[in-house]
Amino acid sequence: AQSVAQPEDQVNVAEGNPLTVKCTYSVSGNPYLFWYVQYPNRGLQFLLKYITGDNLVKGSYGFEAEFNKSQTSFHLKKPSALVSDSALYFCAVRDMDSNYQLIWGAGTKLIIKP
Amino acid sequence: DARVTQTPRHKVTEMGQEVTMRCQPILGHNTVFWYRQTMMQGLELLAYFRNRAPLDDSGMPKDRFSAEMPDATLATLKIQPSEPRDSAVYFCASGGDGGRTDTQYFGPGTRLTVL
């Protein structure tokens, strides 16, 4: 069975510092991985996805994610955090066994302190 | 700027009443998803349509929930009768062909409160 995990409920980072939001996955076959962000009282917004190729994927708002096959991870990163990055972040993996639906992580609340 | 739209944005109703939520997917998208988000359960998939045909509604309570796509520009989610435990934010998302590389785009959600 395929699954995705976000091991941290909350991540606290000081403004200007680099940030990492962790995601690990378990799939049979090639993984297709996604990151979304949800600001308060808003819908989820697509940030980036890994399909194949370069292990470093660049996305919206200066975010990037590093795919690591040996560690089965897809961590979201940003070199310098902004207070406006404070939001809920979701990792998802494509379910290749069930109509290509997305399997969602529980979400990580990112808090950037000034 | 193509977006998924949802109406209403907020709905307060009393237990036992019928609730209808509507979604207009992005023009040209062939897949539509209904999700429910709560603090306790997180994000749950309720229903999934491709080319207006239901592919999966296993996450939906069948006795009270129903989802349809009367045409390519409208998806509906109905709850009848509603119960307090249905209080949640309901999201609609749409995507292209629903293939392995496809991206889902979410609407702003309908916040439902059942008293």
DSSP per-residue codes, A70-87: TTTEEEEEESS--GGG-E
Residues of A with CB under 8 A from a CB of B: 32, 34, 36, 42-46, 49, 51, 90, 94, 96, 98-102, 104, 106-107
B57-73 confidence digits (pLDDT tens) = 888 988 999 999 999 99
Q: How far is CA B98 from CA A33, A39, B38, B69, B94, in A?
A: 14, 25, 25, 16, 9
DSSP B81-92: S--GGG-EEEEE
Report the pLDDT value the prediction gives residue A37, as an integer from 0 to 100.
98
Q: Do A100 and B99 touch (CB under 8 A)?
A: yes
A4-47 confidence digits (pLDDT tens) = 999 999 999 999 999 999 999 998 888 999 999 999 989 999 99
Which residues in A lie closer than 8 A to residue B4 (C-beta atoms)?
43
- Find the mean pLDDT for residues B27-47: 94
Give the nearest chain A residue to B46 (CA atoms): A101
List the beta strands (DSSP E) in B18-58: 19-24, 31-38, 42-50, 53-56
Give the nearest chain A residue to B41 (CA atoms): A106
Report the pLDDT value the prediction gives residue B99, as an integer from 0 to 100.
83
Torsion of CA B100, B104, B110, B115, to 10 degrees: 20
Report the pLDDT value the prediction gives residue A85, as an integer from 0 to 100.
97
Q: Do B50 and A106 touch (CB under 8 A)?
A: no
A50-104 confidence digits (pLDDT tens) = 998 899 999 999 999 999 999 999 999 999 999 999 999 999 999 888 878 899 9
Give the nearest chain B residue to A35 (CA atoms): B103
Q: Do A43 and B43 touch (CB under 8 A)?
A: no
